[in-house]
Chains A and B, each alone.
Chain A
């Protein structure tokens, strides 16, 4: 059976002719006496790899789909980075984004759910891409053992870039996947490493796409884009032998057709999405999110929805429940306002706003409170001011941050006091919290202590 599969290569070259041509082309594959250098045994031997499915078409097809998903994940990741407004004080866990990026930003008029959508896509599409990445790496795995390791300076350069590409992609997926599960077995700062790691990946990815585009185009031209998916198991044949040596020299009998492999990869992708996406979409889908970190369904009370960082964790239980709490608002003048004053002396506004977490989950609730712009006017904040928001939390991540002028002036940006018609619970930010449209959820600071308006 194996023999019948290895005949009839359209390239029309015998094994021997191919080997001789290869030897002529790469003099460094010969030792000082002119005899061909032998590859070490095992995986370095061309006959070691036996899967009849490997070949340029398979790798091209997997690579095309993976490439599309990677572009979505990269774009939404860059959007998220800019949504943190890292150039403003206290907003980024590692300072500004340096000279590269952020390149993409959401417009100020975005619907409130837009960040939840882009970040939900970042996580969902990222999960979806994992089976494709694994299949893609599997499809080119024999290349890791190509012998000789490099046939030209160009090959050395390409191998170095592949280290960045494979290392970068696996690093990004591993750190991202562990981050959504709040598991941090490393010492570096996740945000910094995930952001700059992405640039390593994107750079190597761009070079890889550029260099491989002709190979992909040729594979599609010769085999058709979708045609190989028509073959069932009985009609699954080897691809014609390729210069990169992806096609097996001594193939095993196929046990899976190419479309079977794609169904497996696609099925794995859909499963990963199915068990997670409910935490992003919400509603009744949340019950299906069997493995999502934030798939828990809460009760039906006004405050029964996902919490990020409890009041106990933030160490604010005593300060936040203290009846003597006053909000300190500073502009040209300083006011201290009680919760009662905020509720009875200022116009109350209500908006349905979706909070989206950078970890991909979201929650849509109906919030009521005072417009931040009204508070700014009350203390005579200068036009174009930004606002420093400080919480009762004493130090630690996101105990204070800055909202940009556009965010501050958005009529939907509230200092929220109530949710779904009830007072905020302690875990949701009582006595008052920021609610703003289309920004990372963690920027909707809870347990607000003071607002300081100042020109940037």
Chain B
């Protein structure tokens, strides 16, 4: 092993690639900072990752763990665990809410009206509708699978 690799812990290419990336990133961040509102930008840049790592991921893992505990033992036929029939609709519905919460909760009504000439309406209804379809579909599928396993 070369001296460089021993002391640095990876090949020179590793260092060069990262230095190049840091240089580009530093330039790009400087351009954003030039537009003012430095603190707000950094808060969003770091905050978004922080929110994902320490709020969002623990939250959905925790809910998943809870769901697994609640459904333990209710396995029905061995090949048809109920947990995934809870997981799938819950995760997809939750994801839709995560992505479309400004429309669903009507957070930008004024701006939306100014842009489109229409009021923000129907999104909460549509989200509930999709959620209902997902839950129903998942339940029907579960019932079918259980039946097939019993036959």
Q: Give the distance in Å from the alpha carbon of A293 to the alpha carbon of B121 in the complex.
A: 11
B115 adjacent to A157 (CB under 8 Å): no
Among A207, A267, A312, point to the contact of B92 (Cβ < 8 A).
A267
A203 adjacent to B9 (CB under 8 Å): no
Kindly supply a per-residue 1/0 record for chain B positions 1-34, scoring 1 wherever the CB is within 8 Å of any chain A CB and 0 otherwise: 0000001111001110110111111011101100
B142 at the interface (CB under 8 A from A): no
Within 8 A of B (CB), among A218-247: 233-234
CB distance from A297 to the nearest CB of B (A): 11
Q: A94-B35, A167-B49, A210-B13 are in contact. Are A200 and B108 (CB under 8 A)?
A: no
CB distance from A151 to the nearest CB of B (A): 7
Kindly supply a per-residue 1/0 record for chain A positions 266-306, scoring 1 wherever the CB is within 8 Å of any chain B CB and 0 otherwise: 01100110010000000000000011011010000000001
Q: A187-B40, A290-B130, A291-B96 are in contact. Are A171 and B24 (CB under 8 A)?
A: no
| Besides A188-B36, A211-B10, A291-B100, 10 new A-B residue pairs in contact (Cβ under 8 A), listed by A number | A154-B15, A157-B18, A174-B44, A175-B44, A181-B108, A183-B111, A192-B31, A206-B21, A290-B129, A290-B130
Within 8 A of B (CB), among A413-443: 427
Nearest B residue to A291 via CB reads B100
The stretch of A6-14, A136-144, A340-348 that contacts the partner chain: A136-144
- Residue total for A at the interface (Cβ-Cβ under 8 A): 77
A203 adjacent to B8 (CB under 8 Å): no
CB distance from B39 to the nearest CB of A (A): 9
Interface centre among B37, B45, B84 (most CB of A within 10 A): B45
Within 8 A of B (CB), among A186-210: 186-189, 192-193, 196-197, 199-200, 202-204, 206-207, 210
CB distance from B48 to the nearest CB of A (A): 4
B32 adjacent to A192 (CB under 8 Å): yes
B37 adjacent to A187 (CB under 8 Å): yes
Q: Give the distance in Å from the alpha carbon of A155 to the alpha carbon of B99 in the complex.
A: 33
B88 at the interface (CB under 8 A from A): yes
A203 adjacent to B21 (CB under 8 Å): yes
Nearest B residue to A50 via CB reads B65
A383 at the interface (CB under 8 A from B): no
Kindly supply a per-residue 1/0 record for chain B positions 54-91, scoring 1 wherever the CB is within 8 Å of any chain A CB and 0 otherwise: 00010000000000100000000001010110011001
Nearest B residue to A189 via CB reads B35
A264 at the interface (CB under 8 A from B): yes
CB neighbours (8 Å) of B103 from chain A are: 181, 291, 293
The dominant DSSP class at the A interface is helix
CB neighbours (8 Å) of B107 from chain A are: 183
CB distance from B18 to the nearest CB of A (A): 5
Nearest A residue to B110 via CB reads A182
A170 adjacent to B88 (CB under 8 Å): no
Q: Give the distance in Å from the alpha carbon of A111 to the alpha carbon of B27 in the complex.
A: 35
A-B residue pairs in contact (CB < 8 Å), sample of 9: A134-B95, A137-B53, A188-B32, A193-B44, A267-B92, A271-B130, A291-B123, A291-B127, A313-B115
A34 at the interface (CB under 8 A from B): no
Nearest B residue to A93 via CB reads B35
Among B15, B36, B41, B127, point to the contact of A157 (Cβ < 8 A).
B15
Q: Measuring CB to CB, which residues of chain B are less than 8 angstroms from any residue of chain A?
A: 7-10, 13-15, 17-18, 20-25, 27-29, 31-32, 35-37, 40-41, 44-46, 48-49, 52-53, 57, 68, 79, 81, 83-84, 87-88, 91-92, 95-96, 99-100, 102-104, 107-108, 111-112, 114-118, 123, 126-127, 129-130
Q: Give the distance in Å from the alpha carbon of A17 to the alpha carbon of B21 in the complex.
A: 37
A196 adjacent to B31 (CB under 8 Å): yes
CB distance from A362 to the nearest CB of B (A): 15
Q: A196-B29, A207-B18, A260-B84 are in contact. Are A153 and B8 (CB under 8 A)?
A: yes
The dominant DSSP class at the B interface is helix
CB neighbours (8 Å) of A23 from chain B are: none
CB distance from A388 to the nearest CB of B (A): 25
A-B pairs with lowest CB-CB distance, top 5:
A152-B9, A154-B9, A154-B10, A183-B102, A199-B28
Q: Give the distance in Å from the alpha carbon of A290 to the alpha carbon of B52 in the complex.
A: 26
The stretch of A158-166, A316-324, A370-378 that contacts the partner chain: A158-166
B27 adjacent to A100 (CB under 8 Å): yes
Interface centre among A155, A166, A167, A234 (most CB of B within 10 A): A167
Q: A255-B68, A260-B84, A291-B127 are in contact. Are A182 and B115 (CB under 8 A)?
A: yes
Interface centre among A187, A202, A256, A267 (most CB of B within 10 A): A187
A127 at the interface (CB under 8 A from B): yes
CB neighbours (8 Å) of A154 from chain B are: 8-10, 14-15
B46 adjacent to A167 (CB under 8 Å): yes
CB neighbours (8 Å) of A200 from chain B are: 24-25, 28-29
CB neighbours (8 Å) of B40 from chain A are: 186-188
CB neighbours (8 Å) of A206 from chain B are: 17, 21
Among B49, B83, B84, B116, point to the contact of A294 (Cβ < 8 A).
B116
A104 at the interface (CB under 8 A from B): no
B28 adjacent to A171 (CB under 8 Å): no
A40 at the interface (CB under 8 A from B): no
CB neighbours (8 Å) of A202 from chain B are: 24
